[in-house]
Amino acid sequence: MNAAEPSARRVKRLLGRSAWTAGAWLAGLVFFFPVLWMALTAFKQESDAYTTTPQLVFSPTLDQFRAVFASGIGPYLANSALATVLSTLLVLALGVPAAYALSIRSVRKWRDALFFFISTKMLPVVAAIVPIYLAVRDIGALDDIGTLIVLYTAMNLPIAVWMLRSFFLEVPGEVLEAARVDGATQRQEITQVLLPMVAPGIAATALICVIFSWNEFFLALNLTSVRAATMPVFLIGFMTSEGLYWARLAAAATLACLPVLLAGWIAQKQLVRGLSMGAVK
Amino acid sequence: MATLAPSSPVPLTPGGQSVRLPRREAWRRRLPLSPALLLVIIATQIPFVFTVLFSFQSWNLVRPHSRHWVGLSNYRDVFTDSAFRDALFTEIEMTVLAVAVSMALGVGLAVLLDREFPGRAVVRTLLIAPFLIMPTVAGLLWRTTMLDPVYGIVNFLLHLVGVAPVDFVSRFPMASIVTVLVWQWTPFMTLIVLAGLQSQSGDVLEAAQIDGAGPWTTFRAITVPHLRPYIELGVLLGAIYLINTFDVIFMMTQGGPGTATTNLPYYLYQRAFLGFDVGQASALGVVTVAGTIAVASIALRMLFTVFSTTEGRA
Does the pLDDT of residue B134 top 90, yes or no? yes
Q: Return the amino acid letter for A123.
A: L
**Residue B197 vs residues B103, B109, B110: alpha-carbon distances, Å:** 14, 11, 8
- Per-residue model confidence (pLDDT) at position A3: 54
Q: Which of B31, B46, B73 is the last residue before a domain boundary?
A: B73
Q: How confident is the model at residue B213 (pLDDT cuts 50, 70, 90)?
A: confident
**In contact, B291 and A139? CB cutoff 8 Å:** no
B95 and B68 inside one domain = no
Closest CA to B179 of B152, B150, B159: B152
Q: Tens-of-pLDDT digits for all 281 residues of chain A?
A: 455 567 888 888 888 888 899 999 999 999 999 999 999 999 998 888 887 788 778 888 898 899 889 888 999 999 999 999 999 999 999 999 999 999 888 888 888 888 888 888 777 888 888 899 999 999 999 999 999 999 999 999 998 998 899 889 888 888 888 888 888 888 888 888 888 888 888 988 998 899 999 999 999 999 998 899 999 999 998 888 877 788 999 999 999 999 999 988 888 877 887 777 777 77
The residue of chain B with its CA nearest to that of A48 is: B151
Residues A189, A179: contact at Cβ < 8 Å? yes
Write out pLDDT tens, residues B161-206.
888 888 989 899 999 999 999 999 999 999 999 988 988 877 888 8
Q: Domain of residue B27: give its range.
A: 23-73
- In a domain? residue B149: yes
List the one residue out of B101, B169, B99 whose CA is nearest residue B141.
B169
Q: What is the mean pLDDT of chain B?
A: 84
CA distances (Å), A109 to each of A100, A115, B33, in order?
Answer: 14, 10, 11
Domain match, B64 and B158 both: no
Q: Using the beta-carbon criterion (under 8 Å), do B126 and A31 form an inter-chain contact? A: yes
CA dihedral over A267, A271, A273, A278, signed as positive or negative: positive
**Highest mean pLDDT pick, A184-193, B203-212, B265-274:** B265-274
**Residue B16 falls within a domain, yes or no?**
no
Q: Which is nearest to A192 in space by CA: A208, A203, A176?
A: A176
B180 in the same domain as B122: yes
Nearest CA in chain A to B22: A108
- What are the residues whose beta carbons fall under 8 Å from the beta carbon of A179, sequence distance 6 or more? A188, A189, A192, A193
Q: What is the 3-state secondary structure (H, E, C) of chain A?
A: CCCCCCHHHHHHHHHHHHHHHHHHHHHHHHHHHHHHHHHHHHCCCHHHHCCCCCCCCCCCCCHHHHHHHHCCCHHHHHHHHHHHHHHHHHHHHHHHHHHHHCCCCCCCCHHHHHHHHHHHHCCCHHHHHHHHHHHHHHCCCCCCHHHHHHHHHHHHHHHHHHHHHHHHCCCCHHHHHHHHHCCCCHHHHHHHHHHHHCHHHHHHHHHHHHHHHHHCCHHHHHHCCCCCCCHHHHHHHHHHHHCCCHHHHHHHHHHHHHHHHHHHHHCHHHHHHHHCCCCCC
Does a cis peptide bond (omega within 30 degrees of 0) precede residue B257?
Answer: yes
pLDDT (tens digit, 9 = 90+) per residue, B302-313?
766 655 444 444
Residues 6+ away with beta carbon under 8 Å from A57: none
B273 with B188, same domain: the answer is yes
The alpha-helical segments, DSSP class H, found in chain B are 23-30, 34-40, 46-54, 73-80, 82-114, 120-132, 135-141, 153-160, 168-171, 173-198, 202-210, 215-218, 224-242, 247-252, 264-269, 278-305
Q: At residue B21, does pLDDT exceed 90?
A: no
Residues of chain B above pLDDT 70, percent: 89
The verdict on A89 touching B (C-beta cutoff 8 Å) is no
**What residue in A sits closest to B234 (Cα-Cα)?**
A276
Question: In the prediction, which pLDDT does A4 show?
Answer: 57
B109 located within any domain: yes
Q: How far from A215 is each of A219, A220, B147, CA to CA, in Å?
A: 11, 10, 23
Same-domain check for residues B181 and B271: yes
Residues B217, B173 share a domain: yes
Cβ–Cβ below 8 Å for B1 and A123: yes
Q: What is the pLDDT of residue A206?
A: 92
Residue of A nearest to B116 (CA): A21
Q: Is the dihedral of CA B125, B131, B135, B138 positive or negative?
A: positive
User: In this structure, are B263 and B115 located in the same domain?
Assistant: yes
Say yes or no: B200 and B277 in one domain: yes
In a shared domain, residues B51 and B198: no
Amino acid at B48: F
Q: Which helix (H) or strand (E) holds B60?
A: strand B57-60
- C-alpha distances (whole Å) from A99 to each of A102, A105, A167, A185, A196 are 5, 10, 9, 17, 15
Task: Please tell me the distance from the alpha carbon of residue A41 to that of residue A64, in angstroms, as a whole number.
Answer: 9
**Cβ-contact B197, B109 below 8 angstroms:** no
* pLDDT of residue B127 exceeding 70: yes
First vs last C-alpha separation in chain A: 34
Q: Render pLDDT for B242-259 as a digit per residue (tens, 0 to 9).
A: 988 999 999 999 988 889
B133 domain-assigned: yes
Phi/psi of residue B281, nearest 5 degrees: -60, -40
- Which CATH topology does A75-229 take? MetI-like fold (1.10.3720)
Judge if B113 and B194 occupy the same domain. yes
Q: Which of residues 179-218 of A touch B (CB under 8 A)?
A: 211, 214-215, 217-218
CA neighbor of A49 nearest in space, from A253, A263, A280, A224: A253
Handedness of CA B101, B246, A83, A79 (dihedral sign): positive
| pTM higher than the cut 0.95 | no
- The b-or-e profile of B14-49 (16+ CB within 10 A means b, else e) is eeeeeeebeeeeeeebeebbebbbebbeebbbebbe
CB A267 within 8 A of CB A204: yes
> Nearest 5°: phi and psi at B60?
-115, 130
Asked if the structure places residue B87 within a domain, the reply is: yes
What is the SS3 assignment for B218?
A: helix
Residue A94: the pLDDT is 96
Residue B234: inside a domain: yes
Contact across the interface for A128 and B285, Cβ inside 8 Å: yes
One domain, residues B58 and B111: no
User: Could you give the CA distance from residue A216 to residue A42 in angstroms, rounded to a whole number?
Assistant: 23
A102 phi and psi, to 5 degrees?
Answer: -110, 5
What's residue B95's pLDDT? Answer: 93
Q: How many angstroms separate the CA of residue B43 from the nearest CA in chain A? A: 6
Find the Cα–Cα–Cα–Cα dihedral A176, A178, A180, A182, rounded to 10°. Answer: -150
B153 vs A54: CB contact, 8 Å cut-off? yes
| pLDDT number for residue B137 | 95
**Residue B116 is part of a domain; what is its CATH number?**
1.10.3720.10
- Indicate whether B6 pLDDT > 60: no
How many CA atoms, within 13 angstroms, populate the side-chain half-sphere of residue A30? 14
Residues of chain B positioned with their CB less than 8 A from the CB of A52: 150-151, 156, 159
The complex scores an ipTM of 0.88
Closest Cβ–Cβ partner in A24, A109, A246 for B123: A24
Burial environment of residue B11 by CB neighbours within 10 A (0 to 12, 13 to 18, 19 or more) = exposed
CB atoms within 10 A of CB B160: 9
Q: Which amino acid appears at position B86 of this protein?
A: D
Looking at the structure of chain B, the number of domains it has is 2
What pLDDT does B260 receive?
Answer: 92
- Asked whether residue B131 falls in the same domain as residue B31, the answer is no
Question: What DSSP letter does each residue of B263-275 carry, written as one string?
Answer: -HHHHHHIIIIIS
- Contacting A residues, span 45-74, partner chain B, CB-CB under 8 Å: 49-54
pLDDT at residue B304, rounded to an integer: 64
pLDDT at residue B303, rounded to an integer: 67
Q: Pairing state of beta strands B63-69 and B57-60?
A: antiparallel
CB B234 within 8 A of CB B110: no
B68 within a domain of the structure (yes/no): yes
Residues from chain B that touch A23, judged by Cβ atoms under 8 A, are 112
Whether B242 maps to a domain, the answer reads yes
Q: Residue B5 pLDDT > 50, yes or no? A: no
